Structure 1
Amino acid sequence: MQAPSPAQTLAKPPIALLATIGALTFIDFLQNGMVAFAAAPIMGEIGASPEEYANVAVVYACVAVVMIALQGWLVHHLGLRRYLLASLASTAAGALVCALSRDEAGFLLGRVLMAVGCAAMLTSSRLAVNLIPPGPARFHGIKALATGLCTGTALAPWLASVAVDHDGWPLMFWLAAALAMLAMVPVALAMPGREGGATVAGQARLAPIAALGLGSFLLLHALQRSYYDFFSERWLLLLYAAAGLAALAYFAHSETRNGAPLLKLGGMKEARFLSGLALFMLCYLMLGANGYLVPLMLQRGLGQSWSTAGEFFALGLGAGVLTFAMMSQLLPRWPSPRKFFVAGFLALAAFGALMSRLTPTANLWADVFPALACYGMFIMIVMPTTAMQTFTGLTRDPAVFAHAQQVKNMLAQIGQALGIMVATVGQQWFASRHYDALTRGIAAGNARFEAAMRQLTDYFSTMADPVQAQQMAMAQIAQMVSQQSALLANLDHFRVLAAVALAGALVSLAQRVFR
């Protein structure tokens, strides 16, 4: 391949290419964020229980993992342009099926089609950046990718709340379908066909691919079910997880032994890549855990409406968009990553500390928004910096670089599920401890309990007989104890989060891998 001229290196990339790079990450993060935030109204409309909705998420993630692994093979046989057009068509078709579905089966089918399409969008976006010749111009591609990612993440809660409040949840999927169709235009204009020199495909063998899909399902199923069954069926869940890990280990072993693997795992034993992978996993764990807990905290802990929770979550993440806009100016001049990692983890620590001090009377602008802004800053400082630093040692081999991107995005599916599991199991444990402590105070002789009982009994006596009034008063106190224990559990989560973030800042200062 002929080396690019200085003029090519310095020229700004074509608008269609930058639009493709940004659109792919925007669509992926927007649709995933909207579906996660709007889980409750979607469940109500399609008649799915939380367990059934969780199963839909597990199937989506498993299909995504398999499709990410097959991406190189598919691009090799179809060409990048036709592969992306087919992906966008599958995304649009799946979104339309979801919008029109009225039961769990239809919604599951739509999400499977969306997983087939959206699975490798982030990987494709990053690999499309490499179509820009090395040099300062390539940073425009990185900025387009990160802009799509952070704006999609930030807009998702707000758009989900607007859609549900005005025209119902199907509007989210009509929007995703329209965006996927629109993105076909820059893809058709900018992406190369089979003549583009796709990475070596490797062999798509049935047994390893089946092991990858089954292992992902068992592991993710164990993580999802832990919300409901961790304390009652922990050994069965551990068995599922162990079987899933064994299947994934078989996939990894077969790929390293294969002469033409789908993923060149053996070429990824670099300390910089493995450290970056650990950082990515932490970020995706935070996305899963806080994406679940923050709306819950705003709604149940602070008594805010669903739409208000969406608006403020979006505003907080929007602060991250502004943060990245500033970072995009600083990174070319001061590329050393350590200071960004330290700043990002300090922002996460501030988020945890501020959230752990909230009370039911907290002011949204004065107390909640600064905390959410710090969380947005963490996401948009640490994730782009990690993305720029993790793969620098793998760029010499285009195949290893592409496969490393695929591995990272496969682990992202597991990382977010793991984050939700950690948050939900932690909530159960913390809430049970607080509930036990609070219920010990509900006994005769406790002055505060007896005073509350008298007040509530007097209140309910105006609408029921004395016996019923006393029962209603006791039920009200039990409900208050349950709500209080849930709120205290949320505060404990954010205290632990602040401690983890401070440890991350210290590690960032001491480490010598990213300098």
Structure 2
Amino acid sequence: MKLRALPDFSPLRVFFFTVALGGATGVDFVASSMMGIAGTHIRGGVHASPEDFLWSMTSYAAMATLANLMLRRIAQHTSYRSYTVVGLIVAAIGSLLCALCETPLQLTFARAVQGFGAGGLFAASRILIQLVSARDERAPLFIGFNIGSFGLSAGTPWLAAVLVESAAWQMVFAIQVVLALAVLVLVVLTYPSRVKPAGDLWEIDIDPMDWWVVILFGLGAMVLMHGLGDLRFYELASSPSVALTPLVGFLLIAAAFLRLRREPQLWLDPRALLGRTYLVGLLFYAIYYFLNGLWNYLIPTLLQSGFGFGFQVTGEVLTWASVLSLLAMMCFSVVAPKVFGRRRYIALGYVMFAAALLMLSLRTLTGVSMDVILPALFLQGLTVPFVMAQVAGMTFVDFTEDDFQHAYAFKNIVRQIATAAGTGAASLWLQYGEAIARSRLVDRITVFDLGGMPPLPEMMAMASTLETQATLVASANLLSWLAIFCAVVAVLALVIRWRAAA
């Protein structure tokens, strides 16, 4: 299709331009997801304890938060094309540094570089779509965008498993270098040299940056996300102080926002974020990304530690589920103009999510086959257009181009924090759930059940079986509670008013 804002672009170039926009987003998605899928192998490669490895996760998220904070101001001064080019270069350098790491500290700094480059690419791409297209032109653009973003991330689980098993853990980052550079070439060839918004060209007065905002926001994001992730390693009953860390992070971010309110030229305008529609949409975004972080941690753990499937089989299954999500998003892009802005579709998505969780919880049995599990995984993959894309159609409908940039940048900051919260919650639940299940299982075993004291190999096999059963029991309980939670969210989607009464 042709775009009125880019009359010189042929329909073919417009398509590849949108694929490049999605590809830039996919670089961020891949960088995040590969750490979860291949995390055990990467941690072993740099000899990191779980606590040390967590810093490499939170350093990426914290620097991605800073990138989103600075995005609008830098992009308007240089252009979103320049921002994307520089971001991809920095992301490639960060990925290369990750591949060269030998210690946890090195990996933490390398991931920070990678996060600063890749973390703002999603928001930059989505804002750029808003600037180059009118509302009636937007829906077809997301076909190419979804191919680029979901296409890259769909192949990640299988690719990570194949690379790690056939070569070494460094290949996880080597492929990210290749992806970033490939997308960079596509961006250079297809992006317009400078995109003008509808109306007059903005005249931006770049004031000296308030580095206290940067320090408070960046430090707050890192402390908050590390504290949320750190929950997996401690029990609140024995270490109550661990709950203070996320609170300190929230307070630092609140201090940054108080300082932002006094700036004449804002990095991120809090006053543009106070509309009822946006705040309700942001709530549903936070719920989705919380569940997404939780799901991405729980399912690989359940498939490997609970069901006993190999790393490569797990990667293949997750890839097929992601491909189904891609196909669902492409179908949604075609019918989007007819279904956008309807709460019942969001409710339907969470009903489907609840059904998938309940199906999976009832199948957490020893020796279960993959054929029995796949329907639940595939059903969850079909929820993405409803629980994520539909929310987007309702959240940003009233924003002008300028306010949209503030709103979408802050949405991606929330994405980083909510994802970390979901991962931490899943880890904490499994930690408690496995401990309780293990204790109950052990209490049921007596010397008479064992037929006397068995040999050491049989004892080790029994210990392994107990660990597997504990994982299955804890996962089934978590999946059941999440099914109830999704059902409640479905009801909220129907009863909450998105707009203030006239």
- The normalised TM-score by structure 2 is 0.91
Partner amino acid for 1:40?
A: T
Q: Are 1:221 and 2:218 counterparts?
A: no
| Mapping 1:142-221, distance limit 5 Å | 142-189=142-189, 190-193=191-194, 197=201, 200=204, 204-221=209-226
Render the CA deviation track for 1:119-157: whole Å, top value 9, x for unaligned: 101001101102323143222333333333322332221
| Change over 3 Å in CA distance of 1:182–1:12 after alignment to 2 | closer
| Change over 3 Å in CA distance of 1:10–1:42 after alignment to 2 | closer
Partner SS for 1:362: coil
Q: 2:238 and 2:92 mapped to 1: Cα distance?
A: 39
1:306 to 291, 304, 311: 311
**Alpha-carbon offset, residue 489 of structure 1:** 0.4
| Change over 3 Å in CA distance of 1:500–1:10 after alignment to 2 | farther
- Contact 1:347/1:374 (<8 A) preserved: yes
| Change over 3 Å in CA distance of 1:307–1:220 after alignment to 2 | same
2:410 to 399, 402, 407: 407
Match of 1:447 in 2: none
Match of 1:32 in 2: 32
Partner amino acid for 2:366?
A: P
2:296 to 275, 291, 298: 291
| Change over 3 Å in CA distance of 1:136–1:435 after alignment to 2 | same
Match of 2:107 in 1: 107
**Alpha-carbon offset, residue 111 of structure 1:** 1.4
Partner amino acid for 1:288?
A: G
Partner amino acid for 1:504?
A: V
Q: 2:467 and 2:177 mapped to 1: Cα distance?
A: 41
| Change over 3 Å in CA distance of 1:187–1:154 after alignment to 2 | closer
Q: Are 1:432 and 2:435 counterparts?
A: yes
- Contact 2:18/2:142 (<8 A) preserved: no
Match of 2:281 in 1: 276
- Contact 1:202/1:261 (<8 A) preserved: no
Poorly superposed stretches of 4+, deviation over 6 Å: 5-13
| Change over 3 Å in CA distance of 1:438–1:270 after alignment to 2 | same
Q: 1:504 and 1:59 mapped to 2: Cα distance?
A: 31
| Change over 3 Å in CA distance of 1:91–1:455 after alignment to 2 | same
Partner SS for 1:151: helix
| Change over 3 Å in CA distance of 1:384–1:79 after alignment to 2 | same
Partner amino acid for 1:481?
A: L
- Contact 2:98/2:111 (<8 A) preserved: yes
Match of 2:124 in 1: 124
Q: Are 1:454 and 2:439 counterparts?
A: no
Render the CA deviation track for 1:428-471: whole Å, top value 9, x for unaligned: 22223323322322235xxxxx24x12883xxxxxxxxxxx2x6
Partner amino acid for 1:21?
A: L
Q: What percentage of aligned pairs have identical amino acids?
A: 23
> For the aligned residues, what is the CA RMSD?
2.7
Match of 2:497 in 1: 512
Render the CA deviation track for 1:325-368: whole Å, top value 9, x for unaligned: 22222222333432321221122112111110121121202x11
Q: 2:497 and 2:248 mapped to 1: Cα distance?
A: 36
Q: 1:232 and 1:476 mapped to 2: Cα distance?
A: 31
Computing the radius of gyration from Cα coordinates, the structure with the larger value is 1
2:352 to 318, 332, 347: 347
| Change over 3 Å in CA distance of 1:146–1:383 after alignment to 2 | farther
Partner amino acid for 1:413?
A: Q
Match of 1:461 in 2: none
Partner SS for 1:331: helix
Deviates more, 1:297-306 or 1:475-484: 475-484
| Change over 3 Å in CA distance of 1:45–1:335 after alignment to 2 | same
- Contact 1:317/1:375 (<8 A) preserved: no
Match of 1:463 in 2: none
Match of 1:417 in 2: 420
Q: 2:298 and 2:283 mapped to 1: Cα distance?
A: 22
Q: 1:428 and 1:404 mapped to 2: Cα distance?
A: 36
Partner SS for 1:204: coil
Partner amino acid for 2:282?
A: L
Match of 2:59 in 1: 59
Q: 1:102 and 1:84 mapped to 2: Cα distance?
A: 29
Partner amino acid for 1:73?
A: R
Q: 1:227 and 1:15 mapped to 2: Cα distance?
A: 43
1:263 to 268, 271, 287: 268
Partner SS for 1:168: coil
Q: 1:482 and 1:135 mapped to 2: Cα distance?
A: 54
Q: 1:476 and 1:406 mapped to 2: Cα distance?
A: 51
Match of 2:87 in 1: 87
Q: 1:380 and 1:169 mapped to 2: Cα distance?
A: 33
Render the CA deviation track for 1:212-268: whole Å, top value 9, x for unaligned: 111112211211221112336543222222221111111111112322221111121
- Contact 1:77/1:194 (<8 A) preserved: no
Structure 2 residue runs of 5 or longer lacking an equivalent are: none
Q: 2:246 and 2:377 mapped to 1: Cα distance?
A: 33
- Contact 1:30/1:155 (<8 A) preserved: no
2:467 to 453, 460, 482: 482
Q: Are 1:374 and 2:350 counterparts?
A: no
| Change over 3 Å in CA distance of 1:184–1:378 after alignment to 2 | same
Partner amino acid for 2:24?
A: L
Match of 1:494 in 2: 479
- Contact 2:56/2:108 (<8 A) preserved: yes
Q: 1:70 and 1:95 mapped to 2: Cα distance?
A: 21
- Contact 2:68/2:119 (<8 A) preserved: yes
Q: 1:27 and 1:52 mapped to 2: Cα distance?
A: 24
Partner SS for 1:393: coil
Partner SS for 1:257: coil
Q: 1:321 and 1:222 mapped to 2: Cα distance?
A: 33
| Mapping 1:313-392, distance limit 5 Å | 313-358=318-363, 359-365=365-371, 367-392=372-397
Q: 2:39 and 2:442 mapped to 1: Cα distance?
A: 32
Partner amino acid for 2:157?
A: P
Partner SS for 2:367: coil
Partner amino acid for 2:498?
A: V
- The normalised TM-score by structure 1 is 0.89
Q: 2:319 and 2:112 mapped to 1: Cα distance?
A: 27
- Contact 1:65/1:413 (<8 A) preserved: yes
Partner SS for 1:169: coil
Match of 1:75 in 2: 75
Partner amino acid for 1:280?
A: Y
Partner amino acid for 1:102?
A: E
